[in-house]
Amino acid sequence: MAFAWNHRDISLPEVRIDFGVSRTLMHYLGILLGHLLKWEFQAERRSKSWIATLREQRREINNLLKESPSLKPYLPEAIAAGFQSGLDLVVREAPLTYDDLPPNCSYTAQQILSSDYLPE
């Protein structure tokens, strides 16, 4: 039996918007996770600007998740991808190498999105 496809089964603008929103989510997560890593692994260089960046990225992510609740099931995958971008950010901006940093994200989604969480 062949699959009967109907052009009404999919809305391309919705797919494009969802893809764009998911890419935006990964972008914000990359910046946020990079700054969490810098906070954790460069305690001597902590600054108010890092706090401001963490607050801004968390606010953007939480707003995005409120506007597009369909992204919530995608969050673990987005965190994993964002973490890799965060590693790249840290290695590019800090005197650290990939070997100095964890290969996978150890922060929970709740910690990542919590306005008051800062790693030790």
What is this structure's pTM?
0.84
**Number of structural domains, the chain?**
1
Residue 19 domain-assigned (yes or no)? yes
Residue 47 domain-assigned (yes or no)? yes
Residue 118 domain-assigned (yes or no)? no
Residue 120 domain-assigned (yes or no)? no
Contact 61, 28 (CB under 8 A): yes
Residue 4 domain-assigned (yes or no)? no
**In whole angstroms, how far apart are CA 32 and each of 83, 105, 107, 114?**
9, 12, 11, 11
From CA 102, how far away is CA 45, in angstroms rounded?
19
Contact 86, 39 (CB under 8 A): no
Residue 96 domain-assigned (yes or no)? yes
Residue 43 domain-assigned (yes or no)? yes
* pLDDT per position as a tens digit, 64-79: 999 999 899 999 999 9
* pLDDT per position as a tens digit, 34-69: 999 999 999 999 999 999 999 999 999 999 999 999
- For 29, the domain range is 13-113
